[in-house]
Structure 1
Amino acid sequence: MKEMNLFSKPTTMSLLSLFSLISFLSLNLLPTPSSANMLTAYDVLKSYDFPAGLLPQGVTGYELDPKTGKFAAYLKGSCSFSIEGYQLRYKSTITGYISKGKLTQLKGVSVKILFIWINIIEVSMTGSDLEFSVGIASADFPIDNFDESPQCGCGFNCNNNNNKEKVRSIRGNPFLLSS
């Protein structure tokens, strides 16, 4: 029987066994982040001082580069609903850049003004209001209008939801009045 010397070259088989053991231990015994500890897209919005209701219910995931603020939020599919006379549409992927109180280069969210759909390209906080910009015009709405997330298809006026659409005093179409 051959004696094993601790200082001899390890065989390929023993290296493979050692690698397998290390892989098994690192995958099965080391702590992994649980879903309870991971932030949701709604939590991320709040961490940048935005209300969760900027996104509809049903966000399935998100990506965020904290260094640049580049983000993407994902829905199961496109989503549309009406709130207070406004028709909103979200694509299945919403992208842009986020910083404290400001969303810029926004893509994937649009509002119907008169008969055409116009992209909302920026959202910023001004005092206790959120300003939504479509490029040529902007409109301000109270932040507390966005405390709750609307539901795709029915907004806040859903049959299975006891929440009734909040009544807000908006005259006409502020996108047409603002610049």
Structure 2
Amino acid sequence: MRSSIIFLCILVYLNVVAAELSAYDVLEKYDLPVGLLPKGATGYELNEKNGHFTAYLNGTCYFSIESYELKYKSTIKGVISKGKLSKLKGVSVKIEVLWLKIVELTRDGDDLQFSVGVASAGFSVDSFSESPQCGCGFACDNFNQNGDVSSL
């Protein structure tokens, strides 16, 4: 009898652990690509009633994608709903010499629209199928572990 109770407790524990989602899983659950968050998210909070979503990183994260420089604070907050992150805080993009806060992103089919309030830019959802890495974005093959360009 005692071994049956221990076995049952282990099964319940494994089911609870398996049911826990990552921040990336939450994005996918709301029809958003995982690449909206850089690699290394350490956790998240989600209020499913009002959609308040918070993701945590180890620290501030910088990287470039195409001609854009991006900065993620260690805490990213917003309101998540199907195909949309609104009231976004903690993500900025450098345009020319100014850092502008990305305040909203919306998915429309295979396209993503990123809004800084007064302007927006569109990208393919496929561009965000993988998460970028802090320091090097998607061009990490040319960086060493210290974030420096490796000599070839």
SS in 2 for 1:45: helix
Paired amino acid for 1:58? G
User: In the alignment, which residue of structure 1 is the partner of 2:141?
Assistant: 159
Deviation at 1:127, TM superposition (A): 2.4
- Higher Cα Rg: structure 1 or 2? 1
The residue aligned with 1:64 is 46
Q: CA deviation at 1:46?
A: 0.3
How many angstroms apart in 2 are the aligned matches of 1:78 and 1:35? 28
Give the partner amino acid of 2:71. Answer: R
Which residue number in structure 1 is paired with residue 98 of structure 2? 116
C-alpha deviation, 1:160, in angstroms: 7.2
Equivalent residue, structure 2, for 1:86: 68
Partner of 1:172: none
Q: Name the Cα RMSD after superposition.
A: 1.9
The one-letter code of the counterpart of 1:62 is: Y
Hey, what does 1:164 align to over in structure 2? none
Match of 1:139 among 106, 118, 121: 121
How many angstroms apart in 1 are the aligned matches of 2:42 and 2:129?
A: 19
Q: Which digits, 9 at most, give the CA deviation of each residue in 1:10-36, with x for residues without a partner?
A: xxxxxxxxxxxxxxx9xxx48335433
In the alignment, structure 1 residue 36 sits paired with structure 2 residue 26? no
Q: Structure 1 segments of 4 or more deviating over 6 A?
A: none
Aligned to 2:149: none
How far apart, CA to CA, are the structure 1 residues paired with 2:17 and 2:71? 29
Runs of 5+ in structure 2 lacking a partner?
A: 144-152
- 1:159, CA displacement in angstroms? 2.9
TM-score, structure 2 as length reference: 0.83
User: What is the aligned partner in structure 2 of residue 96 from structure 1?
Assistant: 78
Helix, strand or coil at the partner of 1:149: coil
Question: Distance between the aligned counterparts of 1:78 and 1:157, measured in 2?
Answer: 19
Residue of structure 2 equivalent to 1:76? 58
Q: Which amino acid aligns with 2:90?
A: G
C-alpha change, 1:160 and 1:112, in structure 2 (3 Å) is closer
Query: What's the TM-score, normalizing by structure 1?
Result: 0.71
What is the Cα deviation at residue 120 of structure 1? Answer: 0.2
Task: Give the residue type in structure 1 aligned to 2:67.
Answer: G
Task: Report deviation, 1:114.
Answer: 0.4
**Percent of aligned positions with the same letter in both sequences?**
60
Name the CA distance, whole Å, in 2 between partners of 1:93 and 1:137. 24
Aligned length: 135
Q: Which has the higher strand share?
A: 2
Give me the whole-angstrom Cα distance separating, in 2, the residues matched to 1:121 and 1:136.
10
